[in-house]
């Protein structure tokens, strides 16, 4: 199974190309090497840069979360003043969402989509380069707000007025950073849609595309639809602050609640922007290690589309307590609960794929299984929060923090880690250390639960979110949670070490197919994947199709 | 239409949708 399919392997041809037009390496000199990375339009180079950028941001955001957890280790003010604590919770969220999770998925899309659909690169490679290079500037500016007068934004990532209007000089910088990150996301999304719709190999009909490609196609549509809404909302904050408009100022006839509606009209689809690609990754990994075709491929596509559609009509469940007509609350409650149907279809299909499969538990599979179990816990607590009368009790409590961290950390971030373990042999040509990978999974799976599970109890017992101090009865669970945070964070260095070893080509050589049960065009090219792949459309063996 | 032009046309159309949503949203709210 580890041989390369001769009908679709264009290695010989591209090996020849590589010889003449290969990428500059350090051996060619520092400046040519830097020029390669600055000016590259190659989807694999840009995928690598997106991933390195995103992990840098995940590290910075992780350090901020340690500041938060250190402060919450014991009641009373320990290390930071409350204002700085608020800056940390705000930047932690903005950095993790817009700098960590989203660019990581864009990086994976860059690397894998052209190889999965049999085209040579994304449709607009220069736009791709531009979209990436916006990000370091956007996040330098956002993090730079820590040093401006008035401090960094401290109103939470939701930026609700009127509180956000108390931000000092950081407000326009934050707004501009969000605009830039949004432009990067939109250009990336446009590129992905155009590539998938126009550049698939002729033998690949839409419904035969891998689920990861489908998930990204739908995610890209969501991005194009909602990032401009966020841009509009923060522009209105800007004009309210500097140009005398009163969109959200009741004194001038505006309405602060309007901002919440606009923000969550963006914000809820944003949640699915961060989880649909994860569904795609898990749908790629589970069939490989169960050695079976994905159960219900087409129903998975329809479930993705249903979730994407429903994500537009549930936004007000984030603001049940703001005061709405009962009919509206009922509508948003039922619409939200409806999402559990397509999500249930997906979980059911993953389980059915594994049913009577010849399963093995390599690291990518462990992280994918961790995703299924722990994301489902986050989904179930989401169902609890969807119930309007129940949400009145849980709103703004630590239960909400526990819920969305279960969805985003052992959900989205576990899937990113699983994807990297799964595809890194294809990228680098060497296997990662399986022993370290197994250790990394079990360490992460234990400590992530120590970190987030007690937060359910804290929330149910009444501890509010976004506070640096708390009543003494919350001490024990907070201490446990903080220990979990530190241990989980430390465990990630094992992963970084494992990946650096792969990037240095230190490890057992990987075959083209890498995994015995893997199917799909990306496994028909050699490992490491040549710099240019599929410059002529491949003839596809039907067994490689989804 | 050549493949490159087809790509550009679709990209411009999607970009116009994004800019259109931004502009329409902003002015719709401003008109309220």
From chain B, the residues in CB contact with A315 under 8 A are none
Mutation target for A interface from B2, B12, B18: give the one with most A CBs within 10 A. Answer: B18
Q: How far lies A525's CA from each of A9, A510, A514, in Å?
A: 6, 12, 11
Active site residues of A: 92, 121, 157, 184-185, 268, 270, 272, 283, 317-318, 343, 346, 465
Total Cβ atoms within 10 A of residue A472:
9
Mutation target for A interface from B1, B5, B6, B11: give the one with most A CBs within 10 A. Answer: B11
Find the length of chain A.
546
> Which residue in A342, A284, A314 sits closest to A115, CA to CA?
A284
Each residue's pLDDT expressed in tens, for chain A with a length of 546 residues: 333 443 344 444 444 444 445 789 999 999 999 999 999 999 999 999 999 999 999 999 999 999 999 999 999 999 999 999 999 999 999 999 999 999 999 999 999 999 999 999 999 999 999 999 999 999 999 999 999 999 999 999 999 999 999 999 999 999 999 999 999 999 999 999 999 999 999 999 999 999 999 999 999 999 999 999 999 999 999 999 999 999 999 999 999 999 999 999 999 999 999 999 999 999 999 999 999 999 999 999 999 999 999 999 999 999 999 999 999 999 999 999 999 999 999 999 999 999 999 999 999 999 999 999 999 999 999 999 999 999 999 999 999 999 999 999 999 999 999 999 999 999 999 999 999 999 999 999 999 999 999 999 999 999 999 999 999 999 999 999 999 999 999 999 999 999 999 999 999 999 999 999 999 999 999 999 999 999 999 999 999 998
Containing A54, the helix (H) or strand (E) segment is: helix A43-71
Q: How far lies A401's CA from each of A284, A457, A513, in Å?
A: 29, 11, 41
Is A193 at the interface with chain B, CB within 8 A?
Answer: yes
Question: Residue A239, exposed/middle/buried by CB under 10 A (0-12, 13-18, 19+)?
Answer: middle
The pTM (predicted TM-score) of the whole model is 0.94
Chain B interface residues facing chain A, Cβ-Cβ under 8 Å?
A: 3, 6-8, 10-11, 14-15, 17-19, 21-22, 25-26, 29-30
Sign of the dihedral defined by the CA atoms of residues A536, A541, A546, B2, in that order: positive
Is A227 at the interface with chain B, CB within 8 A?
Answer: yes
From chain A, the residues in CB contact with B11 under 8 A are 123-124, 127, 190-191, 194
Cα separation, A406 vs A70, whole angstroms:
20
């Amino acid at each position: 199974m580890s041989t390369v399919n001769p009908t679709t392997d264009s290695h010989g041809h591209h090996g020849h190309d590589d010889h003449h037009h290969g990428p500059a390496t350090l051996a060619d000199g520092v400046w040519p090497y830097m020029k390669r990375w600055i000016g590259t339009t190659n989807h694999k180079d840009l995928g690598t840069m997106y991933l390195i950028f995103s992990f840098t941001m995940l590290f910075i955001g992780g350090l901020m979360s340690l500041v938060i957890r250190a402060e919450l280790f014991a009641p009373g003010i320990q290390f930071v003043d409350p204002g700085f604590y608020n800056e940390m919770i705000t930047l932690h969220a903005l950095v993790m969402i817009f700098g960590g999770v989203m660019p990581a998925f864009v990086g994976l899309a860059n690397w894998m989509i052209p190889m999965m659909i049999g085209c040579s690169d994304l449709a607009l490679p220069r736009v791709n380069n531009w979209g990436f290079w916006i990000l370091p500037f956007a996040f330098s500016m956002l993090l730079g707000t820590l040093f401006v007068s008035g401090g960094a934004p401290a109103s939470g990532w939701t930026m609700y007025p009127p509180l956000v209007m108390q931000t000092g000089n950081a407000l326009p910088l934050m707004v501009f950073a969000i605009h830039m990150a949004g432009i990067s996301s939109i250009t990336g999304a446009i590129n992905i849609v155009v590539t998938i719709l126009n550049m698939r190999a002729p033998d690949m009909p839409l419904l035969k595309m891998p689920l990861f490609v489908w998930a990204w196609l739908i995610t890209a549509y969501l991005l194009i639809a909602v990032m401009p809404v966020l841009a509009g909302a923060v522009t209105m904050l800007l004009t309210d602050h500097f140009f005398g408009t009163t969109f959200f100022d009741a004194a001038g006839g505006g309405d602060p609640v309007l901002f919440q509606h606009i923000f969550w009209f963006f914000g809820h689809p944003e949640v699915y922007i961060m989880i649909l690609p994860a569904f795609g990754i898990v749908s790629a990994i589970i069939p490989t290690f169960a050695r079976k075709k994905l159960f219900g491929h087409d129903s998975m596509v329809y479930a993705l589309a249903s979730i994407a559609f429903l994500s537009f009509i549930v936004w007000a469940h984030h603001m049940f307590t703001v005061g709405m007509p009962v009919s509206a609350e009922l509508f948003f409650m039922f619409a939200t609960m409806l999402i559990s149907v397509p999500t249930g279809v997906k979980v059911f299909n993953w389980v059915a794929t594994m049913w009577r499969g010849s399963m093995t538990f390599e690291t990518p599979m462990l992280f994918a299984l961790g995703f299924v179990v722990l994301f489902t816990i986050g989904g179930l607590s989401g169902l609890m929060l969807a119930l309007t009368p129940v949400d009145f009790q849980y709103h703004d409590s630590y239960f909400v923090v526990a819920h969305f961290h279960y969805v985003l950390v052992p959900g989205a971030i576990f899937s990113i880690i699983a994807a990297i373990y799964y595809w890194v042999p294809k990228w680098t040509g060497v296997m990662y250390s399986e022993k370290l990978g197994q250790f990394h999974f079990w360490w992460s799976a234990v400590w992530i639960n120590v970190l987030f599970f007690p937060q359910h109890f804290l929330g149910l017992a009444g501890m509010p979110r976004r506070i640096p101090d708390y009543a003494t009865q919350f001490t024990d669970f907070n201490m446990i949670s903080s220990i979990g945070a530190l241990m989980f964070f430390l465990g990630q260095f094992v992963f970084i070490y494992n990946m650096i070893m792969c990037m240095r080509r230190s490890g057992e050589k990987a075959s083209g197919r890498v995994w015995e049960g893997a199917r799909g065009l990306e496994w028909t090219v050699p490992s490491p994947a040549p710099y240019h792949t599929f410059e002529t459309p491949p003839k596809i063996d039907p067994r490689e199709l989804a | 239409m050549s493949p490159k032009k087809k790509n550009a046309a679709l990209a411009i159309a999607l970009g116009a949708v994004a800019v259109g949503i931004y502009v329409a949203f902003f002015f719709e709210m401003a008109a309220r």
